Structure 1
């Protein structure tokens, strides 16, 4: 647990509901910071991301883009343009392992707003609706703040939007003069500085064991974001098979490989979130090679029989991660 800061800082915990989960901020504040105003500003920032990018809100900017006909330009606010730009970049760099145009597959397999169980007819339709790589099928016009699809496709930003929301929370904290904070939304976290006493923020790396919460290790953060993607938290049971919610666009089906989880460090939450998803989909061998080639800092937990094998790059070594299981 983080230590209580000495004067003149005050330890505050701010939080609220969003996106079917909760956002939270642990911060060391100077007494002059208006906590109620900060709470409202943080909630508003997260709500804006949800309102713009949620596939569950029919009036979101994302759904307006999804309803548009191919070749029709759709004006979009700068926030969603920023996320779409990064999503297409990661998609291109990952060779399609990260694909923001898998929305129809997400819905067909029961993980979207349309249904809560796999539907064979919808899966066949989504699989047959072929289009090129996302960066070719979805065109962005940054100068005019607009986008258009070159084929009937459904955009889904669930693999990157929460990381972006953490970045927006960090920006709010900075505007309010906060220099020591840890912002979190689900499995995405970003540290703003360290704690006021000079210590880094200690965060737990979750053990990828379905049905229970425990720590696999501890990571220390200072001006850094971290995100984890895995096959153990959200899934549907189909007979004897447990199908993870992350889609593998190459298989047109839920990801199924030897990766239990991938944790990625990056300067901002948006990139950490997207790359954690991409490396999970890429799998152990290809994902590790991709991360090495791009200089990513990642920790892979691979299922080997009844146990787990760690493969780490960058700061994910014995000096940075404390084993706890």
Structure 2
């Protein structure tokens, strides 16, 4: 039987550092109860910190946190992101200029670290980098390990880490994956899906790309689309809706591609073909956990290729075009356009 882990209500800004503390505590609780923790997810940075540890960045005192907040508060209120970045760069963090626009949490955190330590966040080494240096492993995309015909994770020994991790990356062939992503975006774009959630975010006063939630793929595109509709008095054409859906699908596919690149360079993961029968995949993972040899090799029948070497498949990927199941013709989005019009009328009546 599994054990449920109670997760507290998350704050508006939930950092990778907070995730590390919560996830590691949950891991200890599960192990103390004689269970085996199973961590599932796709955010590479969060998983990297969970496995290798977090950098020893000083925690800001309440006074320093308050001081950093005060210095940026007026600029944030006026939505003057560029001036805020200049302030933090001048304080000592030149890399602040590369932060995503309106990521006020990370900008403020950078200023806190500078005030607490006199150094920018980049001055503190990430544990993962230490492992990489010790092993002499190059984790660039063109690493020769990427093209290895074997899938044996020997780069990181279990005794080097806090726990004995067994890591798997499950994916499908790229074309199948892209089709699944497009179909899911198609399904989520109903009025009771991501559009209604994006409307709720706008109604709370948030703007696209202003925090973690509004930067998320799908939400940002939906919020931008609805914001444009509101500026047009609650009107949208079918072409504008399909442009939103296309951007949503494209951003999702690009994210999947980046994820594959990220995990391709994480040699602790064994790649499994998720398009194979589920029972076969689960049995392999189960047996891998109970394996005592210390060397795990994924059989050819389950192994997922890390790179596409088939010329035909490469050509298909280059010429790929999404095919929707639900939203196909202009008339298919008439309910969406009516809903947007009704929401515009509500907004106007409130104003």
TM-score between the two structures when normalised by the length of structure 2: 0.22
Larger RCO (alpha carbons 8 Å, 6+ apart): 2
Structure having the higher strand fraction is 1
Question: Looking at CA atoms only, which structure, 1 or 2, has the larger radius of gyration?
Answer: 2
TM-score between the two structures when normalised by the length of structure 1: 0.23
Structure having the higher helix fraction is 2
